[in-house]
C-alpha cells in the first residue's frame, strides 16, 4: 500500500505543484491519477520514488516513510515507464531491458534471459531484441518501456502517460495489453493520464485531480460515473461527450461500460480488479 499523507510540493521558484494531497493506493490494483496538464500528476508520481522530494507531508510504502529510504535503491525496486519510452538510443532493445538488473548485480546472461521473457510478456517478438529503439515503431518502443519497467520485478509500477504519444489504434492495443499483463502479474500500478476514458478503462481506483493536485473525486469508475462529486467532475467526465463518451448501462444483469458508439468498453465488477476490460476497440490479435 502506498499512502500520501498531507503531501505538498513547492518548487524552488515558488510554484505550488501539489497542495496537501492525501490518498491511499491499495496494493495489487491499478490506481489512475487523471487531470489536465499542469494538475500535478507527474510531480505526485515522482514523489513516490523520490525523483522529487515533497516539501510537506509524507509518503509511505507498506508503512515505510520513503524519505528514510535510499533513493537509488528505491528507484531500482520501483518500475517507471514514461511517455516517450525513455529508452537509451544507443543500446539495443535487450540491453535497454536488462540494464537496471545488470546495474543491480544480476549476471548478464541471466538478465538477458529474463529480458527475453519480458519481451514475450509485453507481446514483442524476440527477433526485435537486437534492434535499436529508432528501428521500432512508437508502439513497440512503449512495449519495450513497459518491459524495462518490469525488469527488476517490482511490486510497484509507475506509469506517466505511457500511451500518450502513440496513435489511437495502437493506444487501444497497448491498453488491452496492460489489462492482460495486470491480470497476470497483479502489480501495484499508479498510472497517470489526462484521458478520462483511459482512466476509466484501466483504473480500479480513479482519482480526478484539479490544479494543485487537489482531489476532486476518488472512487471506482462506477462510483464516479454514477455519482460525480460536483460540477467539475461532471464536466470532466463528460468532457469528451460524443463518439467516445462513456456511460454505464445495465444490460443482461451486468453493469457494463458503453462508449458513445454503443460499443461495450468494459464490464464493471465489485471484486478486486474492479473492472474487467473487454476486447472492444482493440485490434485483432
Residue ranges in contact with Mg ion by CB under 5 A: 42
Q: Which phi-psi region, left, alpha or beta, contains residue 273 (left: φ > 0; alpha: ψ -120 to 50)?
A: left
15 in contact with ligand ADP (CB under 6 A)? yes
Question: Closer CB to Mg ion, residue 42 or residue 182?
Answer: 42
Site for ligand ADP in 210-269 (CB under 6 A): none
Q: Which CB sits closer to ligand ADP, 40 or 79?
A: 40
CB of residue 46 vs ligand ADP: minimum separation in angstroms?
Answer: 8
Q: For the CB of residue 174, give the shortest distance to Mg ion in the complex, in Å.
A: 18
**Contacting range for ligand ADP; rule: CB under 6 A; set: 38-46, 137-145, 251-259, 263-271:** 38-46
Q: Which stretch binds ligand ADP (CB under 6 A): 40-48, 89-97, 104-112, 113-121?
A: 40-48
Under the criterion CB under 6 A, does residue 43 sit at the interface with ligand ADP?
Answer: yes
Residue count, binding to ligand ADP (CB under 6 A): 12
Q: Is 176 in the site for ligand ADP (CB under 6 A)?
A: no
* C-beta of 158 vs 256, nearer to Mg ion: 158
Please state the closest distance from residue 233 (CB atom) to Mg ion, in A: 20
Query: Closest CB to Mg ion among 140 and 193?
Result: 193
Decide if residue 41 touches ligand ADP (CB under 6 A): yes
Q: Which is nearer to ligand ADP, 138 or 164 (CB)?
A: 164
Smallest distance, Å, CB 256 to ligand ADP? 30
274 sits near ligand ADP (criterion: CB under 6 A) = no
Shortest spacing between CB 39 and Mg ion, in angstroms: 9
Total Cβ atoms within 10 A of residue 55: 15
Q: Which stretch binds ligand ADP (CB under 6 A): 34-42, 60-68, 139-147, 269-277?
A: 34-42
**Which letter, b or e, does each residue of 146-170 get, where b requires 16 or more Cβ atoms within 10 Å of its Cβ?**
bbbbbbbebbbbbbbbbbbbbeeeb
**CA dist 166 to 7, 146, 188, 201, 206, Å?**
32, 14, 24, 17, 22
Shortest Å, Cβ 9 to ligand ADP: 8
Going by their DSSP bridges, the two strands 214-219 and 247-251 should be labelled as: unpaired
Q: Residue 177 or 197: which CB sits closer to ligand ADP?
A: 197
Reference 158, options 66, 44, 67, 65; nearest CA is 44
Determine, following the binding rule CB under 6 A, whether residue 39 of this chain makes contact with ligand ADP: yes
In the complex, which residues of this chain contact ligand ADP (CB under 6 A)?
Answer: 11, 13, 15, 17, 35, 37-43
Amino acid at each position: 500500500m502506498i499512502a500520501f499523507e498531507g503531501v505538498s510540493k513547492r518548487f524552488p521558484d515558488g510554484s505550488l505543484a501539489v497542495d496537501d494531497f492525501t490518498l491511499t493506493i491499495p496494493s495489487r490494483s491499478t490506481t489512475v491519477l487523471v487531470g489536465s496538464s499542469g494538475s500535478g500528476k507527474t510531480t505526485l508520481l515522482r514523489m513516490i520514488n523520490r525523483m522529487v522530494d515533497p516539501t510537506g507531508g509524507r509518503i509511505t510504502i507498506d508503512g515505510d516513510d520513503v524519505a528514510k529510504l535510499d533513493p537509488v535503491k528505491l528507484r531500482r525496486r520501483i518500475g517507471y515507464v514514461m511517455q516517450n519510452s525513455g529508452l537509451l538510443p544507443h543500446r539495443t532493445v535487450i540491453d535497454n531491458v536488462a540494464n537496471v538488473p545488470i546495474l543491480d548485480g544480476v549476471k548478464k546472461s541471466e538478465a538477458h534471459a529474463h529480458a527475453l521473457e519480458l519481451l514475450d510478456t509485453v507481446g514483442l517478438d524476440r527477433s526485435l531484441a537486437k534492434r535499436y529503439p529508432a528501428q521500432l515503431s512508437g508502439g513497440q518502443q512503449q512495449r519495450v518501456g513497459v518491459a524495462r519497467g518490469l525488469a527488476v520485478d517490482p511490486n510497484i509500477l509507475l506509469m506517466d502517460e505511457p500511451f500518450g504519444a502513440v496513435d489511437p489504434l495502437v493506444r487501444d492495443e497497448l491498453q488491452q495489453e496492460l489489462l492482460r499483463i495486470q491480470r497476470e502479474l497483479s502489480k501495484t500500478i499508479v498510472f497517470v493520464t489526462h484521458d478520462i476514458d483511459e482512466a476509466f478503462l484501466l483504473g480500479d481506483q480513479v482519482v480526478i485531480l484539479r490544479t494543485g493536485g487537489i482531489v476532486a473525486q476518488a472512487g471506482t469508475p462506477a462510483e464516479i460515473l454514477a455519482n460525480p462529486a460536483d460540477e467539475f467532475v461532471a464536466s470532466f467526465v463528460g468532457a469528451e461527450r460524443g463518439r467516445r463518451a462513456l456511460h454505464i448501462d445495465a444490460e443482461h444483469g451486468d453493469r457494463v461500460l458503453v462508449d458513445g458508439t454503443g460499443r461495450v468498453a468494459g464490464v464493471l465488477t465489485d471484486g478486486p480488479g474492479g473492472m474487467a476490460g473487454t476486447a472492444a476497440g482493440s485490434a485483432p490479435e
